[in-house]
């Protein structure tokens, strides 16, 4: 068995391939579609690095929600902001929605997060089911390579 | 009017029809939803947790999703993947027409396909199948599904292949997810799936994670553990792992052990329990038998490898002798775990006042001794009698949304039939042939190829036609360089049912565009025996068709369409319901007909399911469902109708040996490949929170892709320093089988132990399975993706 070639071409090439993949296959009617059906392959792929270079907390701007009810995205650097059994670093700013001036305001944790999920009772404690913010609220990297989400409905 | 949260819950709970059209808007919690959405429930289509989702639909599109407040599983919340379920179906490269390959098989880069009609494509498939049946026979064709098939798809695939095509080559990617769990349950309890349920999370005092990063892989279940921890501060979380991970951040104690040494740790705990007088002799006398099996059982590295267990009866004294060598010092030598930490674990299991949940997934299951590890964890619970009562629960978690409901329960493994029956058993075959109304002798007695042997058979040319469905076989499999070549041979005909192009469609001969999730009617079974249903809510795009429709059409062309003929008067299409393509083509309610037939296998045998319609009116029920009542703790008289009054505990899956569960004498054995001078590091592969498996869906969601764009190589800072590597260096990572290039990540969310590199497998640009080893547990045939030897080289 021969080995598959290893991944080696440049990031630029990979981005071109990725970009072209975002064009939907031609409509065709039994003929050969005008575009390849594959955005990539083992031969051309070049992975990237995950670069999280968002502004420090207090310096970022709120990102738009993806749809009504979508959990807000994290627009700022989270390195060193740990959630452990003893402390949740997110709460320092987001409990009260601290304002940092110049339009930078930490999104205040809404009442739903203090409401007991099973009884509906409102409390003063962040509910345990919501304690690990990172389960729902995800940070965004600087990634520029696009798959096909640019053409979403 | 604006509907508030309470009203919304009420509307969504209305049992007969959960859908509610709200013309004037909806408020739930803090959210105002757009007007005019129709809401209905569906289980999430990602992991095995089985969260219930409310799906807001308008104009044949999913506008919003939210957690289902009526679901006891997730209590109204989802995870970051679940909150993007409305984004996964509509990326621009969605496959919408059947495609037939034009370019030669050897070409995968920019492979060319032409669009074709369904008739032409299905006829081509049938002709290839007929050709292969004539040349090789039924063993030359194969179906490869997953725990992402719906219950009726899994059931139909098994019926089509075993009863229609006389082939037991019905296999699934769940083999690589929890076959070791199945083998563990069958060898210990004689019956598959957990005895406990998720209610255990609110009862346990201690949670011991055995190689399971629940914080990323089962986030909503993890949230229940966290809630328990925060509300009852004496609750203990112990993270036993080879890698520091997010679960460790919430743990009271994180114990890092050397790969494979969990076998020694479990035996070491058992020894301490015995030595310290912490075993429950009364429970053992009444409910436990002892057995020993073969040792030095191999690793399945060779083609045509076979293994047959030979069990011998044993005693408690034999177990005492067996664990005698596993002193804390010896365990430390193998595992690196200190005697103090081992004692701490033994204290938790041994304290009668601490209710313990042990939790595990891939660390234990993807293991060349995976069945043994499952047995060994049960041993701890059986020795202490901590089982089948609320909070005392050895808990095998599953990875896929219907690994249990479909793969395990309908039996889409090459050796299984529905309801824990197996093809090797003549009585079981006769039961299946009776229900399927086919002549005696139709189902072959010989099991089909399990996953790795199926790939090898394809490579050898013993399989000519392979149908990949709801799986990504040529991305997910180990030692891919060999097996992709097998798929690219001219003689191999690969059928791929898919929704997007991926590594599997690259090697396809035909591509069938599938309907996904709420584009069809479905049912899943989650990791607590909960069977839950959903209705079709939107139409699939273009000419996409449900996998069930595809199966029936192929059955017709193979001359066995009668397997799917049902009486339209018995199963009429209900008025006003959006029906699947499969039902519309059949002229009857096909999903209902299949499910009602499937129920016959398990009813009265401990696998009882409720009638079809009941599931559309509930958030699911946990089997066995007897007289309309679900079962939370099996084998326990207080909860399980199969246990007679006065019996207390009865492990009735092992009826033949008096209802006793089996403690197995299993020891430590080395893995097949360990780091050495040439390949000095361990490689462990795994998953990340934001991506589902091979990323075909989640990488097409912008926010998920941007949250975790690429697979990187996580290293311990000491190793990086020794190798002269820093965060962001570009490296080649190689094993004896292949290599990948990727970036070093030292600041990521996981930190492997020294001497190990961790790479997630979601990224099709970092095909880490070119590097992994195809070694498996000889009993379960599940591959070990957690251990092989690699080296790193810095590239410019």
Q: What percent of chain A has pLDDT over 70?
A: 64
Is residue A18 very low, low, confident or very high in pLDDT (cuts 50, 70, 90)?
very low
Residues A125 and A108 in one domain: yes
Which chain A residues touch B767 with a CB distance below 8 Å?
42
Question: For residue B209, which phi and psi values (nearest 5 degrees)?
Answer: -90, 120
Judge: A129–B227 Cβ closer than 8 Å, yes or no. yes
Q: In this complex, is the C-beta atom of A131 within 8 Å of any C-beta atom belonging to chain B?
A: yes
Which chain A residues touch B770 with a CB distance below 8 Å?
4
ipTM: 0.93
Residues A37 and A60 in one domain: no
Q: In this complex, is the C-beta atom of A121 within 8 Å of any C-beta atom belonging to chain B?
A: no
Residues A42 and A59 in one domain: no
- Cβ contact B468:B504 at 8 Å: yes
Instruction: Give yes or no for residue A31 having a pLDDT over 70.
Output: no
Is B489 an annotated catalytic residue?
A: no
How far is B511 from A38, CA to CA, in rounded Å? 12
Residue-range domain boundaries for chain B: 5-84, 99-176+401-526+530-559, 190-296+309-398+661-665, 681-794
By Cβ distance, the residue of B86, B481, B706 closest to A67 is B86
Which chain A residues touch B707 with a CB distance below 8 Å?
138-141
**pLDDT attached to residue A48:** 82
Which chain B residues touch A39 with a CB distance below 8 Å?
93, 501
- Cβ contact A26:A33 at 8 Å: yes
Does residue A150 sit within a domain? no
Residues A110 and A41 in one domain: no
Beta-carbon pairs below 8 A across chains A and B: 255
What's B190-296+309-398+661-665's CATH class? alpha beta
**pLDDT attached to residue A146:** 58
Residues A38 and A63 in one domain: no
Closest chain A CA to residue B459? A1
Cα separations in angstroms, A115 against A67, A77, B220: 22, 28, 17
Residues A35 and A79 in one domain: no
Is residue A12 very low, low, confident or very high in pLDDT (cuts 50, 70, 90)?
very low
- Cβ contact B446:B425 at 8 Å: no
Q: What is the DSSP letter of B540?
A: P
Residues A59 and A38 in one domain: no
How far is B661 from B388, CA to CA, in rounded Å? 12
What are all long-range contacts of A13-16, with beta carbons under 8 Å and residues at least 24 apart? A13/A44, A13/A46, A14/A40, A14/A44, A14/A45, A14/A46, A14/A48, A14/A145, A14/B765, A15/A144, A15/A145
Contacts of B48 (CB under 8 A, 6+ apart): B147, B218, B397, B398, B399, B400, B401, B403, B404, B526, B527
Q: In this complex, is the C-beta atom of A112 within 8 Å of any C-beta atom belonging to chain B?
A: yes
**pLDDT attached to residue A147:** 54
**Is the four-CA dihedral B452, B442, B412, B445 of positive or negative sign?**
negative
The CATH number of B5-84, from 3.40.640.10, 3.40.190.80, 1.10.357.10, 3.30.200.210, is: 3.30.200.210
Judge: B92–A24 Cβ closer than 8 Å, yes or no. yes
The CATH number of B99-176+401-526+530-559, from 3.40.50.740, 3.90.380.10, 3.40.50.300, 3.90.550.10, is: 3.40.50.740
- Cβ contact B585:B122 at 8 Å: no
**pLDDT attached to residue B780:** 98
Radius of gyration of chain B (CA): 25
* Strand (E) or helix (H) holding B394: strand B393-396
**pLDDT attached to residue B27:** 60
Residues A10 and A60 in one domain: no
**pLDDT attached to residue B414:** 98
Nearest alpha carbon to residue B669 among B778, B781, B525? B778
**Which residues between 43 and 82 in chain A have a beta carbon less than 8 angstroms from any beta carbon of chain B?**
43-50, 66-71, 73, 79, 82
Cα separations in angstroms, B625 against B148, B604, B641, B644, B664: 23, 10, 9, 16, 30
Does residue A151 sit within a domain? no
**pLDDT attached to residue B310:** 97
How many helices (H) and strands (E) in chain A? Answer: 2, 0
Which chain A residues touch B506 with a CB distance below 8 Å?
38, 41-42
Which chain B residues touch A112 with a CB distance below 8 Å?
29-30
Residues A63 and A95 in one domain: yes
**pLDDT attached to residue B110:** 72
Residues A121 and A97 in one domain: yes
What CA dihedral angle connects B309, B315, B316 and B317, to 10 degrees?
-110
Mean pLDDT by 10 residues, chain B (796 residues): 38 39 53 90 98 97 95 96 96 92 84 94 98 98 98 98 98 97 98 98 98 97 98 96 97 98 98 98 98 98 97 98 98 98 98 98 98 98 98 97 98 98 98 98 98 98 98 96 94 96 92 98 98 98 98 98 98 97 98 98 98 97 98 98 97 96 98 98 98 94 93 97 96 96 93 98 93 98 98 94
Bridge-partner residues for B731, per DSSP? B742, B794
**pLDDT attached to residue B28:** 65
Closest chain A CA to residue B86? A67
The phi-psi region of residue B252 (left if phi > 0; otherwise alpha if psi is between -120 and 50; otherwise beta) is alpha
Q: Which residues span the domain enclosing A100?
A: 55-145
State the catalytic residue, choosing from B148, B366, B400, B770: B400
Q: Is the CATH number 2.40.40.20 carried by domain B681-794?
A: yes
Query: Coil, strand, or helix at residue B333?
Result: helix
Judge: A67–B763 Cβ closer than 8 Å, yes or no. no
Is B172 an annotated catalytic residue?
A: no
How far is B389 from B196, CA to CA, in rounded Å? 7
State the catalytic residue, choosing from B44, B195, B362, B558: B362
Does residue A29 sit within a domain? yes
Question: For residue B255, which phi and psi values (nearest 5 degrees)?
Answer: -115, 115
Bridge-partner residues for B789, per DSSP? B682
Q: In this complex, is the C-beta atom of A32 within 8 Å of any C-beta atom belonging to chain B?
A: yes
- Cβ contact B495:B468 at 8 Å: yes
Is B177 an annotated catalytic residue?
A: yes
Nearest alpha carbon to residue A4 among B796, B741, B775, B729? B741
Angle between helices B118-135 and B547-557 (to 10 degrees): 60
Nearest alpha carbon to residue B750 among B694, B688, B698? B688
**pLDDT attached to residue A49:** 87
**Is the four-CA dihedral B757, B762, B768, B773 of positive or negative sign?**
positive
Residues A83 and A122 in one domain: yes
Q: Where are the beta strands (DSSP E) in B152-287?
A: 170-172, 206-210, 236-241, 243-244, 253-256
Task: For residue B238, give how far its alpha carbon lies from the nearest alpha carbon of chain A (Å).
Answer: 12
Bridge-partner residues for A115, per DSSP? A122
Residues A61 and A109 in one domain: yes
pTM higher than the cut 0.80: yes
Is residue A40 very low, low, confident or very high in pLDDT (cuts 50, 70, 90)?
very low
Angle ∠(B204,B206,B211) on CA atoms, nearest 5: 115
Report the number of distinct structural domains present in chain A: 2
């Amino acid at each position: 068995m021969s080995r598959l070639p290893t991944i080696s071409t440049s990031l630029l090439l990979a981005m071109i391939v990725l970009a072209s993949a975002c064009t939907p296959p031609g409509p065709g009617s039994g003929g050969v579609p005008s575009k390849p059906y594959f955005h990539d392959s083992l031969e051309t792929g070049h992975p990237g690095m995950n670069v999280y270079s968002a502004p420090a907390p207090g310096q970022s701007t709120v990102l738009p929600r993806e749809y009504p009810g979508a959990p807000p995205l994290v627009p700022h650097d989270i390195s060193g902001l740990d959630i452990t059994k003893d402390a949740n670093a997110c709460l320092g700013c987001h409990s009260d929605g601290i304002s940092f001036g110049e339009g930078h305001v930490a999104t205040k944790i809404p009442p739903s997060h203090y409401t007991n999920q099973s009884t509906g009772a409102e409390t003063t404690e962040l509910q345990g089911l919501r304690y690990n913010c990172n389960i729902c609220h995800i940070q965004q990297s600087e990634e520029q390579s696009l798959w096909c989400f640019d053409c979403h409905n | 009017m604006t509907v508030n949260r309470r009203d919304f819950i009420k509307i969504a709970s209305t049992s007969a029809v959960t859908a509610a059209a709200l013309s004037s808007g909806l408020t739930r919690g803090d959210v105002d939803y757009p007007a005019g959405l129709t809401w209905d429930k569906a289980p999430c289509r990602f992991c095995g947790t089985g969260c219930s989702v409310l799906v807001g639909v308008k104009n044949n599109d999913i506008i919003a999703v939210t957690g289902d407040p009526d679901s006891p599983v997730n209590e109204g919340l989802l995870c970051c993947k679940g909150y993007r379920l409305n984004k996964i179906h509509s990326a621009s490269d969605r496959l919408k027409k059947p495609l037939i390959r034009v370019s030669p098989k050897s070409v995968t880069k920019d492979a060319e396909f032409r669009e074709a009609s369904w008739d032409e494509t299905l006829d081509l498939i049938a002709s290839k199948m007929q050709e292969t049946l004539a040349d090789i026979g039924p063993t030359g064709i194969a179906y490869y599904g997953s725990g992402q098939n719906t219950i009726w798809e899994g059931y139909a695939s098994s019926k089509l292949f075993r009863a229609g095509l006389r082939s037991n080559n019905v296999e699934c990617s769940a083999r690589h997810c929890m076959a070791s769990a199945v083998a563990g349950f069958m060898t210990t309890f004689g019956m598959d799936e957990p005895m406990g349920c998720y209610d255990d999370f609110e009862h346990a005092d201690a949670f011991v994670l055995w190689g399971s990063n629940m914080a990323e892989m089962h986030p909503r279940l993890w949230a229940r553990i966290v809630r328990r921890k925060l509300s009852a501060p004496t609750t203990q979380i112990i993270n036993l792992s080879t890698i520091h991970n997010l679960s460790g951040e919430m743990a009271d104690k994180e114990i890092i052990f050397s790969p494979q040494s969990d076998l020694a740790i479990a035996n070491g705990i058992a020894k301490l329990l015995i030595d310290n007088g912490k075993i429950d002799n009364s429970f053992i006398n009444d409910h436990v038998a002892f057995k020993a099996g073969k040792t030095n059982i191999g690793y399945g590295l060779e083609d045509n490898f076979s293994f047959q267990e030979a069990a011998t009866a044993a005693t408690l004294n034999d177990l005492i002798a067996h664990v005698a060598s596993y002193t804390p010092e010896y365990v430390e030598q193998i595992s690196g775990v200190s005697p103090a930490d081992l004692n701490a674990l033994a204290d938790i299991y041994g304290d009668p006042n601490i209710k313990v949940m042990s939790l595990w997934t891939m660390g234990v299951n993807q293991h060349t001794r995976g069945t043994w590890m499952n047995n060994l964890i049960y041993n701890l619970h059986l020795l202490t009698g901590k089982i089948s009562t609320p909070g005392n629960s050895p808990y095998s978690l599953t990875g896929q949304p219907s690994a249990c409901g479909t793969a395990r329960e309908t039996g889409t493994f090459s050796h299984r039939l529905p309801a824990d029956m197996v093809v090797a058993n003549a009585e079981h075959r006769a039961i299946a042939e009776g229900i399927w109304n086919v002549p005696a002798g139709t189902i072959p007695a010989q099991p089909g190829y399990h996953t790795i042997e199926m790939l090898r058979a394809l490579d050898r040319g013993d399989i000519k036609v392979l149908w990949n469905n709801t799986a990504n076989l040529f991305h997910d499999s180990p030692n891919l360089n060999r097996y992709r070549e097998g798929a690219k041979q001219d003689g191999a005909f690969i059928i791929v049912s898919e929704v997007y192009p991926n590594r599997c469609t690259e090697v396809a001969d035909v591509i069938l565009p599938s309907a996904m999730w709420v584009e069809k009617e479905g049912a899943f079974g989650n990791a607590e025996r909960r069977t839950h249903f959903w209705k079709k809510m939107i139409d699939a795009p273009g000419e996409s068709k449900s996998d069930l429709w595809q199966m029936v059409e192929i059955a017709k062309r193979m001359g066995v369409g009668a397997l799917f003929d049902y009486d339209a008067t018995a199963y009429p299409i209900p008025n006003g319901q959006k029906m699947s393509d499969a039902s519309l083509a059949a002229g009857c309610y096909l999903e209902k007909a299949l499910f009602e037939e499937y129920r016959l296998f398990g009813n009265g045998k401990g696998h009882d399911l409720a009638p079809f319609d009941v599931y559309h009116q509930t958030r699911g029920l946990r089997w066995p469902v007897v007289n309309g009542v679900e079962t939370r703790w099996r084998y326990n008289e207080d909860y399980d109708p199969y246990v007679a009054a006065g019996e207390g505990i009865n492990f009735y899956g092992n009826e033949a040996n008096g209802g006793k569960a089996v403690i197995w004498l299993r020891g430590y054995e080395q893995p097949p490949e360990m780091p050495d001078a040439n390949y000095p590091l361990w490689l462990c592969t795994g998953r990340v929170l934001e991506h589902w498996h091979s990323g075909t869906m989640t990488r097409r969601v912008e926010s998920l892709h941007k949250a975790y764009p690429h697979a990187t190589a996580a290293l311990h800072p000491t190793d990086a320093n020794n190798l002269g590597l820093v965060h962001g260096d570009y490296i080649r990572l190689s094993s004896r089988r292949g290599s990948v290039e990727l970036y070093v990540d030292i600041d990521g969310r996981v930190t492997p132990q020294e001497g190990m590199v961790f790479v997630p497998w979601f990224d099709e640009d970092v095909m880490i399975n070119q590097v992994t080893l195809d070694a498996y547990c000889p009993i379960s045939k599940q591959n070990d993706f957690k251990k092989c030897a690699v080296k790193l080289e810095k590239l410019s």
